[in-house]
Amino acid sequence: MDKTLIYHYTSLSHLIEIFRVGKLFTSQTEKMLKVKKPGLWFTTNSKWEYSAFKRFNDGKKEFDLNTPEEFEKYIGCARIVTNLNSLFVTFAKYKHKSKVNPLLWDKMAEIGKSKGADPAEWYATFTPMSINNLDIEIYENGEWYNLKKEGGEFDSDLFNRNLEKTFVFKQGKEMEEKMLKEHQANQPKSDTVTEDIESTPVAEKNIIEDKPVKESIIEDKPVKEAIIKEKPKSKGILSGIKSLFSKK
């Protein structure tokens, strides 16, 4: 019997955080909405999951990132792949297993469908998953590429070149350069010894005193930290319905 693959779509900035903790966790948004058993969501759609959209602010306006191409441009696009097994439940069974408010369950389906998603493709598990035995893929120029090489080693070139072309990475670099310039501008100027011009031999005027170059020491920050700060404000499909339950 053929195995069914399921996919968890995410951004490169979030993938960095997943690497840091070594796990995929259940939905933080569902926890905020007081769902008794929050889900960790996957889909059988091997092309893209439209309910995984993110609300993004580029400093000028807010807008949704709805496609893998838009993810790739602004925050990087990745997915985690595993096999469907008995630990997962369908979206229909999730309603009863999670004891979610029926109104919230209906709204999740409504928003997903409005984005072009099919709730029949959704599967949830209720426990965190270690990423050790999961496949990880990066979206690049219309194709999905495995981040793990044959020997299990990560393809750092694939990861880095896709991270470095994102809007959030470039914005982070610009902010870092701006901070560096401000730091250098605020450094006190070194005192210079002034001499009476009349008492200074002309020959000495041509002698340049060797002075050590003052270097501004900038702490090396992992790309992870710069990128995490630039996370979009939204968590995706559930972000549009927080207000329905936030006053409870």
SS3 for 54-111 is EEEECCCCEEEECCHHHHHHHCCCEEEEEECCCCCEEHHHHHHHCCCCHHHHHHHHHH
pLDDT tens digits, 2-15: 799 999 999 998 99
At residue 134, does pLDDT exceed 60?
Answer: yes
pLDDT at 189: 64
pLDDT at 29: 92
**Domain enclosing residue 108, as ranges:** 5-163+231-244
Domain assignment present for 96: yes
Domain assignment present for 178: no
Domain assignment present for 171: no
Query: The tokens of 172 are what?
Result: 């982070």
Name the phi and psi angles at 121, rounded to 5.
Answer: -95, -5
Q: What does the pLDDT average to over 224-239? A: 45
- 242 pLDDT band, cuts 50/70/90, is very low
pTM equals: 0.73
- CA contacts within 13 A on the Cβ side of 157: 1
pLDDT at 184: 80
The total number of structural domains in the chain stands at 1
Mean pLDDT of the chain: 82
Domain assignment present for 175: no
Instruction: Say if strands 54-57 and 78-83 run parallel, antiparallel, or are unpaired.
Output: unpaired
